[in-house]
Structure 1
Amino acid sequence: MASEHDGEARAMTPAFARPSLATPGDYFELMKPRVMSLVVFTALTGVSIASTPVNPVLALASLLAIAVGAGASGAFNMAADADIDALMTRTRNRPIPSGRVTRDEAIAFATPLAIGSVAVLGIVANWLAAALLAFTIFFYAVIYTLWLKRWTPQNIVIGGAAGALPPLIGETAMTGHVGIAGVVLFAIIFIWTPPHFWALALVKSDDYAKAGVPMMPNVAGEASTRTQILIYTLILAPFALLPYTLGFGGLAYLIVAALTGAVMIWYAWRVYRDREGSAAVKSAWRLFGFSILYLFLLFATLLAERVTAPVMSLFGYAA
C-alpha cells in the first residue's frame, strides 16, 4: 500500500523536483566520447598543418573548446534521437532510452556546453573558427539529426560535413583563415564517410528499418549501396594522396596513403562482390573496421610528420 502511495506521489511530483537517476558516467556517455576523441584527433591534425607557428597554449585551449562542442553535439543528437535509439539493438541502452537521463536533462546539459565552447574558441582563437564550430554543432544537432537522418537516404552523405569539419576548424583556429590544407582534410573525411557508414548499414539494415531510418540499403537496396560504396572508395583512395601532392604531406604519408588506399579498394571490392550469406556480412564488417584504421593512419601519419619535422630538419631531412 505504501509503495502505491509512493508511486502516486512521485507521479505528482514535478520532473524538476525529482531526484535524477543519472550518474556522471551517463552524462559523459551523452557526449559520445568515441566520436569526440576522433573529433579531437582530426582537429589536432588540423592544428598541426597550420601555415603559421602554433602557440601550444592556444592550441590546447582551442582543442578543448572543439572537444566540448563535439560533446554538446552528441548530447543534442541523443536527445533528439531517443525515440529511434529505443528501437535499435545497438543504441537502446544509451542513457535516454534506458531511462537514466531525460531528454530535458540532456538538453539542459548540452546547451551551456555548446554556447560556452563557441564563446571560448572565439575569445582564445578567432571568431571565424568559432563560427565554424557553431555551424558544426547546429548542422549535426538540427540539420542532420532532425531532418536528414529521418527523411533522406543521402543523410550520411550530406551529414558527413559535420564530422569532416574539425580539422578545418583546428587549422582556422591557428591561422584565422580557411586554408587549402584544411579544406583537403575536410574533403577526405567527407568522401570517407559514406563507405564507412554504409558498410555498417548493410549489416544493421534490419535495425534501421525497424527504427524507420531511411538508410541507403533500406531505400535504394543492397546492390545499389554496394556499388556506391565501391565508387566512393575509388574516388577516396587517389584523393587522399592530395596532401603529398600539395606539399603538406611527406613521403611517409604518400606511402601510407597509397598502401592503405589499395587495401580500402580491395575491401570495398569484396563488399561489392560478396552479396550472399555470411560472406557478405564478413566483407561489410571488414570494410567498416578497416575504414576506421585507414582514416586513423592517414591523420596519424600527417601528425607524426609535422611533429617530427623540426627534428628531421636538424639532420638535413625534409618531412
Structure 2
Amino acid sequence: MTVPLRSSGDLLADRRYVWAEAALAEGDAAAAADLAEQVLALVPDYVPAWLLLGRAREAQAGDDPAARERARRAFAAALDLDPDDALGARLRLAELGAQAGEAALSPAYVRALFDGYAGRFERHLVEGLGYRAPAMLRDALLATGHPLPFRRALDLGCGTGLAARALDDLVVAIEGVDLSPGMLAEARRLGRYAALHEGDLTAFLAGQPAGGADLVVAADVFVYLRALGPAFAGVARALAPGGLFAFTLQAHAGEGAVLGSDGRYAHGEALVRAEAAAAGLAILRLEAASTRRERGAEVPGWLAVLGRATHGPSAAEAAGGPAGSPALAP
C-alpha cells in the first residue's frame, strides 16, 4: 500500500521527485539520493522528499553505522516537518532502531494508507492474501454457545465491512469505527451498520456507554497497535456482563510486541494474557491461527475470545486493574 502524495508546489521539484522515485525503484539509490537532494534544494520543507532521501540513504547504507545515521536524520527531518506523520517516518525510524519505545504507526499514517487502499482493499485482501479473519471470528463465537443473536455489537477498525457481513445473522445491530474515511465510505455502501464512526478505536470505546455492548470484534486491527492495554480496558468498560470480545492478532514466539518487516506489530502470547487479566477479561479461547498469507506463506497469528464477568469487578474496576477468574454468562 502507498500513501497518496501532495505536490511540492514547484513543477521542477515535482518532476525531479518522480525521477528520484523511479531511480530508487530501479535500484540506483545513489541517483535517487542526489535527485531527492535537488528537490529539497528547491523546496526545503517538502516532506515526501525527506522521506525519499532517507529511503535512498538507507538503501545505500548496508551495515555502515554512519550511513544509517544519515538516513535516520532524513527521516527525523520528515517527522519534524510533519509531527502527525502521514507518510510513516516513525515506521522508518523504528526499522532503523530509533524511537523503540514509541508507537511506530501513527493514526495519520494508518488513515492515509487505508484511504489510498480502500477501493481495492477487499479484492487484494481476500483474493490475493486469502484473508479469512471474519469467518474465523464467526466460527469462534458460535463455538462459545453464547445466546444468539447478540443485541449490540461494536466492530473496531471495521474497514469496508467484512466482519459485518460475516456476523450479519448473529447480531441485531452492529456499529463500526475506523480511522479511514475512504474505508468508511465503502462500509456505508454495504448498508449493514446501524452507525459508522470515524476516529481512533480507543477514543471511540471511551465514548461508549459502560456495559452498552454485548459483543466487540476486532479483525486484524491490533497489528497496527503496539500497546494493547488501552484498547482492552476500553472494551472491558464497554462490554455488558457476560459479553464477548473476539479478535485476531499477528503472533510471534517471544515476549512483548515486535514490529515486523511487513510494518505490522506481532504480539506474544504472554502479553495478550497479561493485558486480558489487567482489563478484567477472562480468556475463553486463545489459539494459534493464521488469518492470511504473505508471499505464499501463512502469517502466524492468534485467534482469541475473551469474556466479561457476569459479577465481580465493575467495568471501571476491570479497566483499571487485574482480576481473578470471573464467572461468565453461558
* TM interval, short-chain normalised: under 0.3
Taking structure 1 as the reference length, the TM-score comes to 0.28
Q: Which has the higher strand share?
A: 2
Taking structure 2 as the reference length, the TM-score comes to 0.27
* Greater relative contact order (Cα < 8 A, sep 6+): 1
